[in-house]
Structure 1
């Protein structure tokens, strides 16, 4: 159970629902979680319990249009009016400010999953200074060859049917297409995990699996155009450690290839501490996969290694995870 779960007023006027799993004593580090599309921060309770037991505080917000941050269920799937991607980035920065007030001086790590990983990639360009590290789960250097076409279609759909129109077309081109690769399937969400119980929990959760708006999709796809632009990547601090985690059967990260391409782009931009691990057979939600204990332990060991280096004031290479490929 989180130690608190409540709405917070952020500096830009947004209200965000934030789950906090705090430690009884001063934590050795804090992990801020940025969840994926059509899910919510409460789903990370299992990871938070593990990290708490090892001395890490954990905060997970519900992004705009998601979970308890959405004013009602009819608002799920829509970031809001205006610059939607910028609104989500501002929410992440606002929760970071909250954490830094509540946990002053404690090393802060950002963990982004799926859409949250793409937001995190952008966040590292704009606000990477001061972070102790970043973990990108189910991420990629690109959104595939149809990204530009998809963005145009979503812009047109939003203009024709309204920015908040929930796009069945986007769902057909992405999630339903992803799921077809795992036929025969039990549900429309089998692509998320090999664990039927985890898939069923997702399907049963009223704050998961909803359709998102055409404008949200357009913003996401537009953001995909900028992921590895060299003039942007050079703004990410060179000394920022980044861990990439991928499943070899995850279509979002092109079965791990997209994560490797992102790792290469970061190295080309001068980042010094990039690690990647690809889990054979794993699908999209690594923290809800059959190998979740291994994934969580790898994540924990990476965090501990980064904290150990900070304690002794060493910026040399930390012990690296064994690289696992499909």
Structure 2
């Protein structure tokens, strides 16, 4: 895990959870925007991602590894005795929501960008059938056809995504089955994280996630403070889209408003 210090007096700490198949270096732009506006940032790579992908040809991580990592990342963010915000993108947003629920995390706010709550684009044409079969199929490999042009239509940022780290979207049936179990748990009406402010943002042209499910999930939380924003022309990765400056401004305003509600004076 890494930490980037805010410029000047810090207002809060932001923990960032990247999406599936990504790694922390993709988020250099967002990290710098947060730093320059007064936020410490902590971030790392999900297990099986980043440097680890050089030694793995597919994703077969136990989800317990993700859950342990999420708990540790939030604990690191809490060490500064400042308000903590959590930003999660795609699969990372889903892991973050689960961590907050299971670990009873109290934070200043959760920002979920295109959370994986229901997928339009599933890994492998036979994934639904395979996921219901016996353990014999657990090692079968599925390709999740997520490409850079399905994440963003902003070709100018492809350079931020294409680097020496492999963009490996192959998963096992075991991995996919655990993902389905996680999504089922989060969509349970009894599972709520309503004690914290929530901002959920989606893209109107998202090819990967079902944005209706994200809206329904947010309403289900019965949060006293929540916002939903759909960016009509955007795909899934909002912090990489043409509109990312506007996306960041909304994110910053949400965090400032949450800090004001806690009694902080924000210029």
Match of 2:92 in 1: 116
> Aligned with 1:232: secondary structure?
coil
Q: 2:167 aligns with which of 174, 183, 208?
A: 208
Residues 133 and 77 (structure 1), Cα distance of their counterparts in 2 relative to 1, 3 Å cut: farther
> Aligned with 2:236: secondary structure?
coil
Residues 160 and 107 (structure 1), Cα distance of their counterparts in 2 relative to 1, 3 Å cut: same
2:253 corresponds to 1:301: yes
Residues 44 and 203 (structure 1), Cα distance of their counterparts in 2 relative to 1, 3 Å cut: closer
Match of 2:207 in 1: 251
Q: 1:279 aligns with which of 203, 216, 231?
A: 231
Alignment coverage as a number of residue pairs: 263
Computed over aligned residues only, the root mean square deviation of the Cα atoms, in angstroms, reads 2.7
User: What is the TM-score normalised by the length of structure 1?
Assistant: 0.72
Alpha-carbon offset, residue 128 of structure 1: 3.8
Pick 1 or 2: higher relative contact order, CA cutoff 8 A, min separation 6: 2
1:144 and 1:194 map into 2 onto residues whose CA distance is: 18
Instruction: Indicate conservation of the 8 Å contact 1:34/1:112, yes or no.
Output: yes
2:220 and 2:88 map into 1 onto residues whose CA distance is: 18
Match of 1:159 in 2: 136
Alpha-carbon offset, residue 239 of structure 1: 3.0
1:123 and 1:154 map into 2 onto residues whose CA distance is: 24
Unaligned stretches of 5+ residues in structure 2:
none
2:103 and 2:89 map into 1 onto residues whose CA distance is: 18
> Aligned with 1:245: secondary structure?
strand
Instruction: Indicate conservation of the 8 Å contact 1:158/1:214, yes or no.
Output: no
Alpha-carbon offset, residue 152 of structure 1: 5.2
Taking the TM superposition and a 5 Å limit, the aligned residue runs for 1:76-225 are 77-78=58-59, 80=61, 84-101=62-79, 103=80, 105-139=81-115, 141-143=117-119, 150=127, 153-154=130-131, 156=133, 159-160=136-137, 162=139, 166-168=141-143, 171=144, 175=146, 188-199=147-158, 201-225=160-184
Unaligned stretches of 5+ residues in structure 1:
1-17, 176-187, 314-326
> Aligned with 1:243: secondary structure?
strand
2:217 corresponds to 1:262: yes
Q: Deviation digits for residues 103-126 of structure 1, max 9, x if unmatched?
A: 1x2001111111111112212211
2:101 and 2:41 map into 1 onto residues whose CA distance is: 23
Alpha-carbon offset, residue 92 of structure 1: 0.9
User: What is the TM-score normalised by the length of structure 2?
Assistant: 0.87
Instruction: Indicate conservation of the 8 Å contact 2:15/2:85, yes or no.
Output: yes
